Structure 1
Amino acid sequence: MSQSTVFGIRHHGPGCARSVRAALDELKPDVVALEGPADAEIALPLVNHDEMIPPVSMLIYPKDEPRRSVSFPLTDFSPEWQVLKWAGENKVPVRLMDLPMSHRLALDKQLEKQDEKRAPESPDLAEKKASEFRADPIALLAEAAGYADHELWWEEQIERREDATGLFEAILEAMQTIREEYPETRESDLLREAFMRKTIRKIRKETVGHVAIVCGAWHSPVLTEEALNGKIDGCKIKDDTARLKGLPKLKTTATWIPWTHSRLSYRSGYGAGVDSPGWYSHIWESPQDAPLRWLTNAARLLREKDLDASSASVIEASRLAETLAALRDLRSPGLRELNESILTVFCQGDDSPLRLIRKRLEIGDKLGSVPDETPSVPLAENLAKLQKSLRMKPSTEKKLLDLDLRKEIGRERSHLLHRLNMLEVSWGVWEESGGGDSTFHEIWQLEWQPEFAVAIIEANVWGNTVELAATHRTVQRGRDAQSIQELTELLHSAILADLQSAIPELLEIIRVQASVSADVRHLMEAVLPLARIARYSDVRKTEAANVLPILDGMFDRILVGLISACLALDDSAAETMLEGLSKAQQAIDLLGDETLQSEWNVRLRKLLTSKVNGLLRGWACRLLLEKDEIEKEEFDRLTRLELSPVTETSVAATWLTGLLKGSGLLLVHQETLWEIFDEWLRRLKVETFVEMLPVLRRAFSDFNTAERRQMGEKVKFLTDRRSTIVDSTESENGDEINHERAAKVLPVLTEIMGGDLK
Structure 2
Amino acid sequence: MPERYYGIRHHGPGSARAVLRALEEQRPDILLVEGPPEADELIEWVADDRLQPPVALLGYAADNPRRAAFWPFAVFSPEWQAIRWAVANGVPVRFFDLPFAYRATSRKRQAEPESPDPDAADRSGGTDGTDGPGGADRTRPGASGPAPDEAGQPESAPGPETSRPGTGGIDPDPDEPPASGSTTDAPGVEAPGFGESGDDDGPMPGPPAPELRPVDPIGELAAAAGYDDPERWWEDVVEHRQAPAFEAIEEAMTEVRAGALEDPYDLVREAHMRTVLRQERRNHKEIAVVCGAWHVPALSAKVTAAHDAALLKGVKRRGKVRFTWVPWTYGRLASWQGYGAGVDSPGWYHHLFTTTDEVVPRWLVGAAGVLRAEGVDTSSAHVIEATRLAEALAAMRGRPLAGLAEVTDAAGAVLCEGDDLRLQLIGRRLVVGERLGEVPDGVPTVPLARDLEARQRAARLKPSALDRDLDLDLRKDTDLARSHLLHQLRCLEVPWGEPAERRGSTGTFREEWSLRWQPEFSIRLVEASGYGTTVVGAATAQVSTAAAKATTLAEVTALLETCLLADLPGARPAVLRALDARAAEDADVTHLMAAIPALARTVRYGDVRRSDVAAVAAVVRGLLARIYAALPPAASALSDEAAADLRDHIDAVHGAVALLGDETEGTRWLDTLVALTTRDDLHGLLAGRLTRLLHDAGRLSTGDASRRLSRALTAGVPAATGAAWVEGFLAGGGLLLMHDEALLQLVDNWLAAIPPDAFTEVLPLLRRTFGTFATGERRGIGERIAGGGATRTTTAVLDHETARLALPTLSALLGRRIE
- 2:283 alignment partner, one of 193, 206, 214: 206
After superposition, the Cα gap between the structure-2 partners of 1:721 and 1:569, relative to the gap in structure 1 and judged at 3 Å, is: closer
Distance in 2 between residues matched to 1:110 and 1:40, nearest whole Å: 25
Correspondence 1:716 to 2:776: no
* Shift in Å, 1:239: 2.3
In the alignment, which residue of structure 2 is the partner of 1:124?
A: none
Deviation per residue, 1:91-129 (Å, 9 max, x gap): 1111211111101223416888999899xxxxxxxxx99
- CA shift, 1:558, in A, is 0.8
Q: Deviations over 1:681-730 (max 9, x none)?
A: 2233445434533332221233222222222223323488449x959xxx
- Tell me which residue corresponds to 1:181: 259
Distance 1:135 1:436 in 2: 60
1:660–1:699 contact (8 Å) kept in structure 2: yes
Match of 1:698 in 2: 768
SS at match of 1:600: helix
Which of 225, 228, 233 is 1:153 aligned to? 233
Distance in 1 between residues matched to 2:74 and 2:662, nearest whole Å:
61
> Among residues 223, 226, 235, which one is paired with 2:299 in the alignment?
223
Secondary structure of 1:32's aligned partner: strand
| Distance change >3 Å, CA 694–CA 143, structure 1 → 2 | farther
Pair 410,109 (structure 1): closer, same or farther in 2 beyond 3 Å: farther
CA shift for structure 1 position 305? 2.3
Deviation at 1:271, TM superposition (A): 5.8
| Residues 1:613 and 2:693 aligned together | no
Distance 1:130 1:551 in 2: 70
Bigger mean CA deviation after superposition, 683-692 or 284-293: 683-692
Which one-letter code corresponds to 2:56 in the other structure? S
SS of the residue 2:514 aligns to: strand
Give per-residue Cα distances to partners, 1:660-682, cap 9 Å, x unaligned: 11243233233333222222222
One-letter amino acid of the structure 1 residue matched with residue 236 of structure 2: E
- Is contact 2:745-2:791 (8 Å) kept? no
Q: Distance in 2 between matches of 1:106 and 1:468?
A: 28
- Measured in 1, the distance between the counterparts of 2:195 and 2:94 equals 35
Which residues of 2 match residues 541-556 of structure 1 at below 5 A? 541-556=610-625
Partner of 1:580: 649
Q: Does 1:192 align with 2:288?
A: no
The residue aligned with 1:101 is 100
Contact 1:515/1:553 (<8 A) preserved = no
Instruction: Report the secondary structure of 1:461's partner residue.
Output: coil
| Paired residues of 1:11 and 1:271 also in contact (CA < 8 A) | no
The separation in 2 between residues aligned to 1:114 and 1:473, in whole angstroms, is 22
State the match for 1:64 in structure 2: 63
Cα deviation digits, residues 199-243 of structure 1 (max 9, x gap): 111111232x1111111011110111xx2x32xxxxx32222122
| Equivalent in 471, 474, 489 of residue 405 of structure 1 | 474
Partner SS for 1:522: helix
Q: Which residue of 2 aligns with 1:258?
A: 327
The one-letter code sitting in structure 2 at the alignment partner of 1:617 is A
SS of 1:343's partner is: helix
Choose the corresponding residue for 1:570, options 629, 635, 639: 639
- Can you list the C-alpha shifts for 1:118-145, whole angstroms capped at 9, x where unaligned? 9xxxxxxxxx999999522111111222
Gap change, CA 1:376 and 1:309, over 3 Å in 2: same
Given residue 517 of structure 2, which amino acid in structure 1 is its aligned partner?
W
Contact 1:73–1:268, Cα closer than 8 Å, also in 2? no
Distance 1:399 1:552, change over 3 A: same
1:376 aligned residue: 445
Match runs of 1:49-60 below 5 Å? 49-60=48-59
- CA-to-aligned-CA distance 1:325-357 (integer Å, 9 cap, x gap): 112111111111111111111122111111111
In 2 relative to 1, CA 361–270 (structure 1 residues): closer, same or farther, beyond 3 Å? closer
Distance in 2 (CA, whole Å) between partners of 1:422 and 1:471 is: 9
Matches of 1:45 and 1:431 in 2, distance apart?
42
Name the CA shift for 1:63/1:665 in 2 (closer, same or farther; >3 Å): same
Structure-2 change in CA distance of 1:702 and 1:58 (3 Å): same
Quote the RMSD (CA, aligned, Å). Answer: 2.8
Q: Which residue of 1 aligns with 2:84?
A: 85
> What are structure 2's unaligned runs of at least 5 residues?
111-155, 157-192, 199-207, 808-819
Alignment equivalent of 1:237, drawn from 299, 305, 319: 305
Aligned partner of residue 324 in structure 2, secondary structure: strand
Q: Is the 8 A contact 2:11 2:78 kept in 1?
A: yes
Corresponding position of 1:20: 19
Q: Secondary structure at the match of 2:4?
A: strand
Choose 56-65 or 702-711, whichever is displaced more: 702-711
In structure 2, C-alpha distance between the alignment counterparts of 1:158 and 1:690, rounded to whole Å? 73
User: Pairwise mapping of residues 106-505 of structure 1 onto structure 2 (< 5 A)?
Assistant: 106-108=105-107, 134-164=214-244, 167-184=245-262, 186-207=263-284, 209-224=285-300, 227=301, 229-230=302-303, 236-248=304-316, 249-266=318-335, 272-433=341-502, 438-505=507-574
Deviates more, 1:463-472 or 1:108-117: 108-117
Distance 1:690 1:239, change over 3 A: farther
Q: Distance in 2 between matches of 1:398 and 1:269?
A: 20
Higher mean C-alpha deviation, range 400-409 or range 499-508: 400-409
Q: d(CA) in 1 for partners of 2:450 and 2:400?
A: 50
The alpha carbon displacement at 1:512 in A equals 2.4
Q: Secondary structure at the match of 1:253?
A: strand
Q: Secondary structure of 2:326's partner?
A: strand
Q: Is the 8 A contact 1:71 1:269 kept in 2?
A: no
Aligned counterpart for 1:536 among listed residues 605, 609, 612: 605
C-alpha distance 133-631 of structure 1, shift in aligned 2 (>3 A)? farther
Question: Is the contact made by 2:333 and 2:339 (CA closer than 8 Å) also made in structure 1?
Answer: no
Task: Judge conservation of contact 2:473–2:480 (CA < 8 Å) in 1.
Answer: yes
How far residue 397 of structure 1 moved from its aligned partner, in angstroms, is: 2.0
Q: Secondary structure at the match of 1:60?
A: strand
Alpha-carbon distance in 2 for matches of 1:415, 1:492: 12
Distance 1:173 1:37, change over 3 A: same
Alignment partner of 2:647: what SS?
helix
Q: For residues 672 and 506 of structure 1, what CA distance do their matches in structure 2 show?
A: 51
Identity of aligned residues (%): 43
How far has the Cα of 1:44 moved from its partner? 1.1
Amino acid at match of 1:598: T
Q: Report the CA distance shift for 1:38/1:737 in structure 2 as closer, same or farther (over 3 A).
A: closer
SS of 1:448's partner is coil
Q: Which residue of 2 aligns with 1:669?
A: 739
**In 2, distance between residues paired with 1:745 and 1:11?**
69
d(CA) in 1 for partners of 2:213, 2:595: 53
Q: TM-score, normalised by structure 2?
A: 0.83
Taking the aligned partners of 2:308 and 2:649, their CA distance within structure 1 comes to: 67
Counterpart position of 1:637 = 707
Name structure 1 gaps, 5 residues minimum.
Answer: 119-127, 231-235, 728-735, 747-758
**2:8–2:293 CA contact under 8 A, matched in 1:** yes
Deviation at 1:509, TM superposition (A): 1.6
Q: Which has the higher helix share?
A: 1
Match of 2:750 in 1: 680
Deviations 1:435-477 (A, max 9, x none): 8985222222221112111111111111001111111101111
2:325 is paired with a residue of what secondary structure?
Answer: strand
> For the residues of structure 1 that align with 2:197 and 2:491, how far apart are their CA atoms?
35
Please tell me the residue identity of whatever aligns with 1:44. I
Tell me if the contact between 2:240 and 2:401 (Cα under 8 Å) persists in the aligned partners.
no
Q: Is the partner of 2:525 in helix, strand or coil?
A: helix
Provide the rounded CA distance (Å) in 2 between the counterparts of 1:556 and 1:668: 37
Calculate the TM-score normalised by the size of structure 1.
0.89
Q: CA deviation at 1:318?
A: 1.3
Cross-structure match for 2:152? none
CA distance in 2, matches of 1:156, 1:407: 57
Q: For 2:395 and 2:109, how far apart are their aligned partners in 1? A: 54
Match among 501, 513, 518 for residue 587 of structure 2: 518
2:217 partner amino acid: P
